Structure formats: structure tokens, C-alpha cells
Amino acid sequence: MADVGPEWPVLHNPLLNALFSNPAHATGPTKHTIRQLADNHTSYTILVPPAHVLFSRTDPTRRPLADLCYGDDEFVRSHIIKSATPFSVTTAPVSKAQLIIYDTMNGRQVLLRGGTLVAGKNFKKRVRAKVLAVSHLESFCKYMPQGSRFHLIYIEDTLLYGQPPGPGTAGAEMRFRGPETARGTVPVTFEDLLRNFPVLSKAMSARFCALFHHNNRKLEKLRVRQIMRLSEIIAEFRSIESDAVAIVQDCVNENTADGDRVWSVLESVARQHPGLDMDVLVHEYVELNLYDKVWQQLVYQYDTSGHAEFRRVLTPDLYHDLSCLSFNQLDVPVDEPWKLNLLQGRITESIDLMCKLQTGDALNLRQKMQIIADTVIALTGGADPSLSAELVIDADTLIGLLIMVVVHAKIQDLEAHLVHIRHFSPVAQGSLGYMSYILSNVDAVLYLLSPGDDTSEKAHLASMVAASAHNYKLWYAIRTGDDASLVQILEEVRVKHGDRPLPKTHFLRSKNIHSESCFNFAVRSRSLRVFNTLLEYTAPWVLFEDLVFDRNTTTGQNLLMVALQEECHDIAMELIGVIEENATADECSAYYNSRDKNGRTVGHYLSHNLDALDAIGQHIDWCAKDKSAQTPLVAVCRCYDHSDYRTLVQKVFRQVFRQCDAKLTLDDHIDKAGNTLLHVLAKGIRQSGLLSCDRALVDPNALNAKQLSPMALYVRYSRTESLAEVLQHDTTVFDLEDPRLFYNVLDYCSFSASKLSTGSNGDFLAIQDLLVRRFFAGLYPGHGIRYYGLLTARLDSTLDDWLVQVVCYDVAAKNVRTKYVAMDKLHQFYHYQKSRVALDFLPPSKALSENFPKGKTVVPISAKFHVNRSLEYLNAFMCSAHFMARDIQRQLHQSFSRFLADIQPEFLGKPPAGAEKEVTLTQACVSVIVYFVEFSQNDIRGYLSAVRKVRRLLSAGGLKQQEQQYLFDYFLRSVCEVPSCHVSEVDPKRIADVFLRVEPMMLWLEMCAEELLRSCATLLDKVVRWKASYGRIRELNNELQHFELQIVGGAGPKSGSDVRAPGLPRTNSLSVELALAEIDIPDETSFFNFGLVDSKRSRYKKILMLKAEGVKRLMDLNDEIRRDHERLAASISQFLPFRAGYLVFCVKRLVQATLLQLRVRRSQLHRYLAEARAAPLHMCPATRAAPAPPPLPPPPPHSI
């Protein structure tokens, strides 16, 4: 077993550690899986469960899942899907969501639908796991391909041995409570029995149809409109009811098989529903079929009959005369204004309940009785025990409350409803005693409202009518702004009562049905003169507490809220002056922070009154949230139609910062949609001080519920000023991608460009200029004059390719040009640039697509993430051009300009070749070339080793930094109990992204060095072949010289003179043309001599031919070595300054990105610390025992 050392960093997630940092990768149980991943890593996607799940769960044999990652190959292969070849792809008919089935490595199937994975075929349990995040893992181990990226999908649970819902889960509780709730809210009816049981329907339906048919003579009296006595109507109804009961009894008593089946069904229903009364069910069924006839007869009798039992009391004229009647004018023994507000609220609620008698909610006796009962219960506070205990309702108070409800509900034919309830009820009624009490109180109200013959009755009704008339006169004068009439009324009251207290039944104390007093009407009239007149005249009679508790019980708004909502600035300031003068600071704060029905305080209404904001801002609780989770600060910031929005923002934030001297987290000011203050602010960020004040701990990278950052929102709504402010902040992450769709701010800019109907507007151009300048400032060095880059990409279904938005930024002219180019054309352009002499060190074009091969499908939820990483590789090439020589930069810029202008011939064809001349290399020249190449090779090999180590450290370091932050956040959540610290294994992924964004640039350097080493190896291989060819030619020359000496010596005189034989010249070692021309080759010479010894002449000719071929090969090698040497020398001369500048830039970019993330993390920790300091003592874990989260075990050992 290999020792655990620096080569094997320990990853916290057991599954990732077993695949990518496993010393036993060649001998362990998962060796075949690792080898298969290494051979074709782009065809697979790894499903990564959370580490705490793997550490805390076990399989059925009680073996930890973390151990299965090392010892069970089936468990690992079940979490690796073949993403390049999906099993099937379908589209849901309604939701249009893609349903994709993938095969795992071991033949199981996984269904992907939207953001959920479902374990399918060959899995023992159908486990559902949500997708948490999508990421890549850079290869840092030696047994995986160098520079390869593995696709990861983080899921919330394992597909094998997932946690089933326990007996105490919410699902079990729902299953337990479901039937009981259904029985309580949906009662069983006889109609349901006939529909659900065919036996009952077959036996009874025909008889009931005949009973309720319009031709039935028994229904003639109920169907025809005529004057009838109430007893006659009741008798007709009871007769039909008796016939219906007889039908049921006859079906049960039949001595047949059908009768037995009916009996058994009814008996089974009675057992399933204890306490069910069949007589009540039959009565309700009869009422359902006869309701319209009975109700029409009752209404007709009240309209036409003059009999005493059908006398109508509640006439439209009576409703009109009492329409302004106030609760205080009914001699109710309640004086306290807060109790009166409570009773007024109950009256309003009861009126809404009683009005259901005129809707479709009251179509039978049970519903009507329930409405009447609910009305009385609401008046007595029985629905809320705390309210009923706070205020006891006696009989007189209940009568007064019922009078208000009846008068202001204005129910048409209320007497007919009461008659129907009282005389058409079933035989057995469980709550008849309580219902009789309720009906007796309603009858008492009708008695009090009837004119009657008694003088006291007439006087009581007349007093109510007169009180309503006085109320109307006062309210009308206030609402119309009739100051003269108002002064006259108040003068009459002053003359009559002087400075003495007014009676509690006086019309100046009256309120309408919503508990609005005359002061509330004055505020709504928007007349300061009327309001001051009321304050001046009523000073002796109206107490300060009457103004404080003057509240609309329907909306819950007090007087100041109404004044601010109606934008009555003068009245609001007058009210504030009265309150500040008569109340203490604590009482003022209690009044300003009291809530209405929507949970809003006075602070929520301060957006249109800057003076009121200055006056009471110090008393407002700016963190109080309403029902829509908006604080007063958020509500003020949303007032986009304010004429002086910047001043409003400046003042409200000044008040917020003035209230607290410590750090402000501002996490309370997030609405239901997840919008922070930066999302909400339309402009005025500089005036607010959110980004400039050190005490404001705000996160400019926060995402809302729609995964939109503040920058994305500013681009969408063309908020140029706010975008510029956020981009200047030192914690803003410019290339932030949302974790769901992987869009960044540049994508939203392209969306805005596509929505422009004609051309571009000024706001969009300004936003585009800001984003492009920031893009190049973070990606490129700052010494260029023209920049080219790749911003975004979108899928074009017609081309079946990604369209990349290419941008050109001219620094001098400050001009931005963009164009969409297909990804395939970009690869063509790169291939052309690779063929240039000085750029021979660039990696081959296939290296760019090694991790992103064209034609291989990816998981749809990660397609955008996939192409974003591909753009980073291409941008690394665009950035590398700025570290080359000036002439190379100029040529690249010219080529790219021609490429964007669709001038194709230059880069579709090959570069023009220069005139070639014959080259002759000597051994000395070749030795110099070999020395240069070997020296360069050793230097580049050492540089490559260092770069590769740095890249591996970046890959592993990003994961370790992510794990470190995860564990520290876990500590904050479990030990320090910081509420806003959300623990998730994928949340700190942004730290790993810092290293992943720099890793493509380091990989680019690594691939350039590898390409140079390949070029060196190729050149050395050609040198070896050149030496072999050169040596062979020398051997052939020696043989030729030997033959020449033999031929010359045998044919001529032996003298010292150099006499050459004809046709046998002595040749130079590198020249064969003359010899071949002078040789006379006889025709009878045959190549096949059948074992005979060749003649010396034919042997000489054969050797000479071999030499000619060798010389030709040598000349070709001379040319290739010369050309390759020149290309390699030019590439190395370009690479040496390039690698130095590019590496320095990579380190700078890594340092800048790391510093940015450290600033972001520091701001986050400051928020945690401020939140922990602001928490009460009982939240401290040292003062109370709290259940700790499940333990987080250490990573497993490397020994398998």
C-alpha cells in the first residue's frame, strides 16, 4: 500500500476521494471503474451525494456508506451515469419538461426530470433526490488524464439505501390526519350514497325521480304561487319528506336479495360513520330537491300576504334610515376605546359572515344554521378563547351587537330565512337548544326594530333613526368639506354642553361600521381646515386616547397611517405634533410601530412624506416586517414614483444608521422573493451609503428567489447608475453565475440586446460599455490597445451549435462591437492561427475540445455550465495573444478582424509558402541543432513539471478550500448557532470556482509546453533518421570507391596517372546525377539472375541507385530539419517571454480573485459575528441545552 503523502490529498466526500485520490486505484475493488472513467471521462457524469449522508447512513448489513465508496464497486457505479448516450428522451405533455432516462455504469436506470433524479429500473427503492448543484472536478491525480475535467452533479441523497420517510415525518402525519379532516369538513350526504353505491341507486333512484318529478301532483301547491298559510307549506313539505322516508324503508324491508344488499350497505355506512342519522340525510335530500320551491313560496308570502305571520320588518326604508347608526348609540355598557375597537372588529367580521345568506353558500338548512351560529360566535369571541376571556359579552351587549349586524348587513328576506330555519328543520337536531337561544336573540332584534303598537317601541326606533340622521349630517359636512355647516353643528354642541363631557351616545363620538370617527373622515377629506376645526372645537370633549385608538377595524390603520396613505402632509404633521406633545417617547414608539391588518406600521407609509420621516424616523422599528415580509425600509425604497427619490433614500438610511452604532447586517430587510436592499433600490446607492459605509454589512452578490443578482436586475431594468456603483465595490463578483441556470450578468446583457426593437438605446449602450470594460479589466492585462473576447453563448437549434458572442473593444476610441459566431468557426480560426510559424507552440485545436467534445450530449441542466467553461478555454487563448511580440499581436488582430468580417479565404486555405532553396546540412550543423533542442527540451521539461504541480495544487486546493469553509460553517451553525449560516456542501463552491477560473490559464501554459516538447521530440526523431541516412550514404560511397578502384585497376595501365574507365566515373558522396547520366546500362541486364553472381558493373549500378535514393531522402530531411528547426526556434523565442508574462498574469489573477473571495468571506463572517452579538442571551448554547446536529465524522482512512 502506498503511503499517504502529498500525492494523495484527502477529500472530505468519500465518493470523490475514492475516485480521484485513491492510492489503491490500481488494485482496489473500484479499479475497473476508475480505468473506465480515465479512458473516456467526457461520456460520464458522477452523481455526488452529500458527505454527511455517506458518513451517517448504512446499508442493510450495517456497513457505512462511506466504506462502500471504497469497497463496493456496484455502489460507486450506481452513481455514475452515461450522460453522452441517454437511454430515452421524452417531453411531458402538460409541463413540457424533458424526461430523460440515463443508464448507470452497472446497467441501472435513472430518470432526470427538471431538477430531480429518480432511481428507476434495477434499483430496489424508488428514491427521489433533488439536484443541489452542478460542478466540474479538475484532475489532479496521476492516474487520470492530465487536464481532464469530470462532470459532477451534487444530489441531496444517495440513490442506493436512501432514507425512507419515518413514522414521525410530515408525510406520515398527513396520511394520519387526511381522512379525519376529510370526514370533518365534507359531511356525508344521501346524494353521495346514491352516487357511490350502485346498489342504493338501482333500488331507489327511480322512485325518487318519480317523487320529485314536476308532474307529481303532490308538488302542485308548492310549485304554484298562491297565498298560503305557513302551516300549509310546512304540511306539504312534511308530506314529501314522509314519502321519501317510506321509499328508503320499503327498499330495506323488501324480502329479496336487493333488500338484503341495501340493508348491508346502509349498515356498513353506519359503521364507517358513527353518529350518522339516516333521517337527517333523507331530510336534507328532500330539502335539496324542494329548496327552490319552498323558498319561492316563503318569499312570495312575505311580498304579497298581509298575514301577521308573514309581516316584513326589515324593509329597504328601514335599512336606509339606520344606515349611519353607530354602536355607541345603543346603550352598550362598554366605554374603553380599545374595547370598543375590539367590538367594532367583531361587528365587521360578523357582517361579512351574515352576508353569506345572500350568496350560494346558503342553499340548505344546515348551511343557514351554520352561518347564523358563526355570526353569533364571532360576536361573542368564541372562536378565539383569548378574546372571549378578555371581554365578556352580556345579553344587552349581544343584542346591541346583533342590531348593528342586522342593520348594516342589509340581508334581504332575513325573516324568511329565520322561518325556514325554525320550521323546516329535521326531526332530530343535536344543537337545537343552542340554536334556539341564538334565534331568540335574533327575534329580539327584530322586535326592537319593528315599529309595533307600543309607544316605547316606537320611541326606541325613533331614537335610533334620529341618531343615524345626526351622524349622517355630521359626516356629510366633513366629507364634503362644508366648513360652515360643520362650524354650525359644533357651535350647537358647544352651546348645549359647554365644557362638560359629552354623553357616550353623542353623535360626535359615533363611528361608522369600520370604526371610523369624524376625525378619520376629516383626514380622508384631505382638508386641513376641517381637521383643525374639529380639533379646536372638540378639545374639551375628546381625550387624547380617543385619537390614539381611533382606528379603522377593517384595515387596522390608525389616523396617522390614513393621513400618510392619503398623502395629506399637513394633517400628518399636525397629528405628529399632537402625539409628540401629549405622549412620552415610549408611547410614541408604541403608536408608530402598531400594526394594521397587513402587519404594516407607520414606517411603511412614510415614503411620500419626507418631513414626517425626519420627525418620527428615530421612533420607527425599521426591521418590523409586514405579511409580505417587507420592512419599512424596503417599503420606502420601493417608492419608485417619488419626485425626489435620492433624497428619500438618503434620509431613510440616515435614520436607520442613526438608530444603531454597531454593525448592521441588513439581513432582516429581505422580502419574500429574496430581494435584498440592493435589489430593491432603483438608484441612489451612493446616497444610501450601503456600499460606502463600513457599518453596513451588505452582500452585493446575493441572489433572490429567481436567482437574480443585483447586477442582473440592474441590467434587466437599465439601472446604469446602480450598476456602476456595484461594479466599483470591492466585494462584487463580476462573473458570478446563478446555480440553477448558470447565467451571469453578461447573459442578461445579451438578453436585453435581443429585446431591443430597433438598434440600441443610450441606456443599453452605457450598460454594455460598463460590462465590457469590467470584463476585459478582469481577464486581460491593462497594456493593450484593442481587446477581443468571448462574452456569452446561446444554443442555435438550426445550426445545432452554440453561437458565441464575440466582442471587440477599442481602448482609444472606446468603441464596443459585438457579433455572434458559431463555435465551430472559432475552432477553424484557432486551427489557422496554430499553423502560423511563430505560434507553433500553441496546443492543437483538438486539445480545446478534449473536455468539451463536439457531438457528445451533456445533461440538459448543465449544458450552459458546460459551454461557459468552454468559453474560458477560448478566452485563455485570446488573452495569451497580449503576451506575444507586437508583430504577432498585430497579425492576430488583423486575422481576427478579417474573421469577424467574414473574409474566409485567408484562414480556410493554407498560409502561402515561400520559395524553397536547396539546403545542405553538415554534421556540425546537426550537432548544433541537437544541442539546442536538447537544451530547450530539458528547460521546458523542468518548466512543465513546475506548471503541472501548480495546476494540480490549484485543482486540489479549490476542493480543500471549499471543504474548509463547509466545515467552518458547520461549526458556526451547530456550535455558535448563527441562524443565517446555512450549511450545505455545495454552498462554498464559489471558493473552488476561483481556482477553477485560473486553472484553464495554467492548463494553457501546460499544453503549450507539452506541444513544444512534442515538437522537440519530432525534430530529434528526424535528426536520428538524418544521421542514419547520412551514415548509410557514407557506406555506399565506400563501396562505390572500392568498385571504381577494381574496375580501373583491371582495365587500364598500371600507372600513377588518373585514368578513368568510360562509364565508371568516381562520384562525390552527396552527388549522383553525373554518375547516373554517364553509366551505360545494357538492355540485356536482368534483375532476376536466378542465383547467379552479378557482374561488377550491375553491382555498381545497384549501389549507385541505392545511394541516389538515400541522397534524396537526406535532402528531404535537410529541408524538414531546417524548417522544423526554424519553426521551433521561432516558437521558443516567442514562448520564453510569453510564458514569463503569462505566468505572472495568471498569478496576479489568482491573487486578485483570492483577495476578492477573502473580502467576500470577511464580510460574511462580519455579518455572522454581528448577528451572534445581537442575539439574546437565551440563544447562547452555554445557557441552554439544545439538540446538536448529527455528528460530522472525520474523513475515512486511505487503507481499503
Per-residue pLDDT reduced to its tens digit, 24-51: 888 889 999 999 999 888 889 999 998 8
Residue from 121, 420, 188 nearest 287 by CA = 420
The mean pLDDT of the chain is: 81
Q: What is the DSSP letter of 10?
A: P
Q: Phi/psi at 103 (nearest 5 deg)?
A: -90, 140
The whole-model pTM stands at 0.81
| 656-684 tens-digit pLDDT | 988 877 777 788 888 889 999 999 999 99
Distance CA 650, CA 658 (A): 12
- Grade residue 408 by pLDDT with cuts at 50, 70 and 90: very high
**In 10 A of CB 616, how many CB atoms?**
23
Residues 6+ apart with CB under 8 A from 51: 12, 13, 14, 985
Average of per-residue pLDDT across 1119-1129: 86
CB 221 within 8 A of CB 229: no
Strand, helix or coil at 1053?
coil
Q: Is the pLDDT of residue 282 over 70?
A: yes
CA torsion angle for 910, 911, 916, 920 (degrees, to 10)? -90
E-only strand ranges, 825-908: none
148-152, 175-179, 296-300, 1093-1097: segment of lowest average pLDDT: 175-179
Distance CA 238, CA 440 (A): 24
| 779-797 tens-digit pLDDT | 777 766 788 889 999 888 7
Q: What's the confidence (pLDDT) of residue 757? A: 54
Same fold, 592-698 and 918-1045+1097-1174: no
Q: What's the confidence (pLDDT) of residue 430? A: 47
Count of CA atoms in the C-beta half-sphere (13 A) of 702: 23
Amino acid at residue number 951: R
Q: Which CATH number fits domain 918-1045+1097-1174: 1.20.1270.60, 3.30.200.20, 2.40.10.410, 3.20.20.80?
A: 1.20.1270.60
Domain ranges of the chain: 14-155, 190-307, 592-698, 918-1045+1097-1174
What CATH class has 592-698?
mainly alpha
Strand, helix or coil at 53?
helix
Q: Is the pLDDT of residue 1190 over 50?
A: no
Sheet hosting strand 116-119, strand order edge to edge: 80-81, 45-48, 149-155, 128-138, 116-119, 109-113, 98-103, 88-91
Count of CA atoms in the C-beta half-sphere (13 A) of 799: 14
Helix (H) or strand (E) holding 149: strand 149-155
Distance CA 647, CA 903 (A): 55
Residues 6+ apart with CB under 8 A from 716: 708, 748, 751, 752
Q: Is the pLDDT of residue 244 over 50?
A: yes
- Grade residue 685 by pLDDT with cuts at 50, 70 and 90: very high
Q: Is the pLDDT of residue 392 over 70?
A: yes
Structure-model confidence comparison of residues 840 and 1157, the more confident one: 1157
Distance CA 244, CA 684 (A): 76
Provide the grid cell at 317: 326604508
Q: Which residues pair with 103 in a beta bridge?
A: 109
Distance CA 1137, CA 1148 (A): 17
| CA R_g for the chain | 47
Over 336-395, what HEC string results?
CHHHHHHHHHHHHHHHHHHHHHHCCCCCCHHHHHHHHHHHHHHHHCCCCHHHHHHCCCCH
| 509-552 tens-digit pLDDT | 999 999 999 999 999 999 999 999 999 999 888 888 889 999 99
Distance CA 321, CA 315 (A): 10
Provide the grid cell at 604: 411603511
CB 805 within 8 A of CB 816: no
Structure-model confidence comparison of residues 197 and 977, the more confident one: 197
- Grade residue 355 by pLDDT with cuts at 50, 70 and 90: very high
Distance CA 188, CA 186 (A): 7
Residues 6+ apart with CB under 8 A from 572: 560, 563, 564, 609, 612
Strand, helix or coil at 46?
strand
- Grade residue 1188 by pLDDT with cuts at 50, 70 and 90: very low
CB 1007 within 8 A of CB 147: yes
**In 10 A of CB 660, how many CB atoms?**
12
Query: In whole angstroms, what separates CA 176 from the centre of its chain?
Result: 33
Distance CA 16, CA 46 (A): 9
Q: What's the confidence (pLDDT) of residue 454? A: 64
| 541-599 tens-digit pLDDT | 888 888 999 999 999 999 999 999 999 999 999 999 999 999 999 999 999 999 999 99
